[in-house]
Amino acid sequence: MSFIISTITQQDAESVSKMLHHFWGGEPVVAHDMAFNPSNLPGLKAVMDGEIIGILHYQIGDAVCEIITLASLKEGLGVGSRLLEAVEIIAQDARCRKLCLTTTNDNLHALGFYQRRGFKLTALYPGKLDQSRKIKPTIPDIGEGGIPIRDELRLEKGLENN
């Protein structure tokens, strides 16, 4: 049950695209009034038996590392944790002050997952998904556990760098 974390390359485009469709209904990924195209961003993958089972895309700017995607096809094996650890090292090497990300109010599992790994809630944007749907109308109305997807939450983890 072991997997290896490495950088996403052009050869991974098809598998990564399938994962982006599976988890985000394809590109773009909309967060915080912005449309991100993960296929143009740096990313990390987790590979088990030759198959990509996890992805993480990120963007580094202004001493902040923004996590744009994180997804695991084999939950509970440590894939998400190892991808987060790997991007934290990259962000520290790039002298970032913090890791940031956006999630939605329905994603209770992710909210727990990130907070157990040192992330703190920093902002709530009630009703933000109305604006996101103007950019990407295919964002579903109902999310995890039948919860209406309405709001964005921002989380951050400070890095020891600075």
Ligand X SMILES: CC(C)(COP(=O)(O)OP(=O)(O)OC[C@H]1O[C@@H](n2cnc3c(N)ncnc32)[C@H](O)[C@@H]1OP(=O)(O)O)[C@@H](O)C(=O)NCCC(=O)NCCS
CA 146-76-92 angle, 5° bins: 105
Give yes or no for a contact between 56 and 126, defined as CB atoms under 8 angstroms apart.
no
* CA dist list (Å): 13 to 20, 61, 96, 132, 145: 10, 24, 27, 25, 30
Fill in the per-residue mask, 113 to 152: x = in contact with ligand X (CB under 6 A), - = not in contact.
x--x------------------------------------
Q: Is 15 a binder of ligand X (CB under 6 A)?
A: no
Closer residue to ligand X in complex, CB, 26/95: 26
Please choose, out of 14-22, 87-95, 106-114, 135-143, the segment that lies near ligand X by the rule CB under 6 A. Answer: 106-114
Tokens 């650890």 belong to residue: 85
* Cα dihedral across residues 67, 30, 41, 74: positive or negative: positive
Fill in the per-residue mask, 25 to 54: x = in contact with ligand X (CB under 6 A), - = not in contact.
------------------------------
Q: Which of 110, 149, 153, 159 binds ligand X (CB under 6 A)?
A: 110
Measured CA to CA, the distance from residue 57 to residue 78 in angstroms comes to 17
State the residues that interact with ligand X by CB under 6 A. 23, 70-72, 75-81, 101, 103, 107, 109-110, 113, 116
